[in-house]
């Protein structure tokens, strides 16, 4: 009888352990803390009204066009002078063609008062001749104190074409005239002291 009693006791112990184990598991699962859900913060976007500032587009500046002289026309303008006070041994310039008595339009005319400064004129001549007239009024009777030089060069090659003047190595005759029977680009350089000189350029203007 003892073995039966022992076996029966073991069975009872196992049943008790199973029952108590199930109870324990239920209890621990019920004791678990369920996390409190965190409230989701909802951000409501408030529309903002942008203030539109009317803008006026700036008016673009219109550059003033610089007139470009027509290379196929005869014209003359002030030019950058050449600082050359030297007198040259050049003849009074003239050619076989002498347009005396013929009228040609004035393409440049200006008066200068010289106090040892340089002045110059550039002439673009497409049809010959070019006539250079100049008249000098001295501020002194001394040929050393009052003087005037006019030198004409080929503006492309800088070749000296003619020179004349008043006093120093030249006569005191006034007015004087230079003739150029070829078309071309002329640089007319002037230098003087204690004189007033007037310059007139004439040429056909086709």
Q: Name the pTM for this structure.
A: 0.63
- 171 and 103 housed in the same domain: yes
Please check whether residue 129 lies inside any domain of the structure: yes
- 91 and 155 housed in the same domain: yes
**DSSP of the chain:** -HHHHHHHHHHHHHHHHHHHHHHHHHHHHHHSPPPPPPPPPPPPP------PPP--PPPPP-PPPPPPPPTTS-EEEE-PPP--------PPP--S---TT----EEEEEEEEEEEEEEEEEEEESSS-EEEEEEEEESSS-TTTSEEEEEEEETTT--EEEEEEESTTS----SEEEEE-S-EEEEEEEEEEEEEEEEEEE----
Please report, for the domain that includes residue 130, its CATH number: 2.60.120.380
pLDDT of residue 82: 93
Please check whether residue 122 lies inside any domain of the structure: yes
- 90 and 156 housed in the same domain: yes
Please check whether residue 46 lies inside any domain of the structure: no
pLDDT of residue 43: 47
- 20 and 105 housed in the same domain: no
- 7 and 79 housed in the same domain: no
- 99 and 188 housed in the same domain: yes
pLDDT of residue 57: 47
Q: What total of structural domains would you count in the chain?
A: 2
- 87 and 8 housed in the same domain: no
Please check whether residue 13 lies inside any domain of the structure: yes
- 79 and 164 housed in the same domain: yes
Please check whether residue 152 lies inside any domain of the structure: yes
Exposure string of 152-175, with b = 16+ CB inside 10 Å and e = fewer, is: bbebeeeeebbbbbbbeebeeeee
Domain carrying residue 13? 1-30
Please check whether residue 65 lies inside any domain of the structure: no
pLDDT tens for the chain, 206 residues long, are 566 666 666 677 676 675 565 555 555 554 454 555 545 544 445 454 544 544 444 444 444 444 456 777 999 999 999 998 888 877 655 544 555 667 899 999 999 999 999 999 999 999 999 999 999 999 987 767 899 999 999 999 999 999 999 988 888 899 999 989 899 999 999 999 999 999 999 999 97
pLDDT of residue 87: 84
Please check whether residue 53 lies inside any domain of the structure: no
């Amino acid at each position: 009888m003892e073995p039966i009693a022992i076996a029966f006791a073991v069975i009872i112990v196992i049943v008790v352990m199973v029952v108590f184990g199930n109870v324990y598991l239920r209890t621990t699962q019920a004791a678990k803390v369920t996390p409190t859900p965190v409230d989701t913060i909802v951000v409501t976007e408030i529309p903002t009204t942008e203030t539109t500032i009317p803008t006026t587009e700036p008016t673009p500046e219109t550059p003033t066009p610089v007139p470009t002289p027509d290379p196929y026309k005869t014209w003359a303008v002030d030019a950058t002078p050449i600082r050359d006070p030297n007198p040259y041994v050049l003849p009074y310039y003239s050619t076989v063609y002498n347009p005396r008595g013929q009228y040609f339009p004035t393409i440049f005319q200006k008066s200068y008062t010289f106090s040892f400064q340089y002045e110059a004129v550039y002439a673009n001549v497409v049809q010959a001749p070019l006539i250079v007239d100049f008249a000098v009024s001295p501020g002194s009777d001394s040929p050393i104190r009052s003087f005037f030089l006019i030198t004409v060069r080929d503006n492309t090659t800088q070749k000296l074409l003619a020179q004349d003047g008043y006093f120093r190595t030249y006569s005191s005759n006034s007015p004087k005239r230079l003739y150029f029977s070829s078309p071309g680009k002329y640089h007319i350089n002037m230098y003087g002291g204690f004189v007033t000189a007037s310059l007139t350029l004439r040429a056909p203007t086709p």
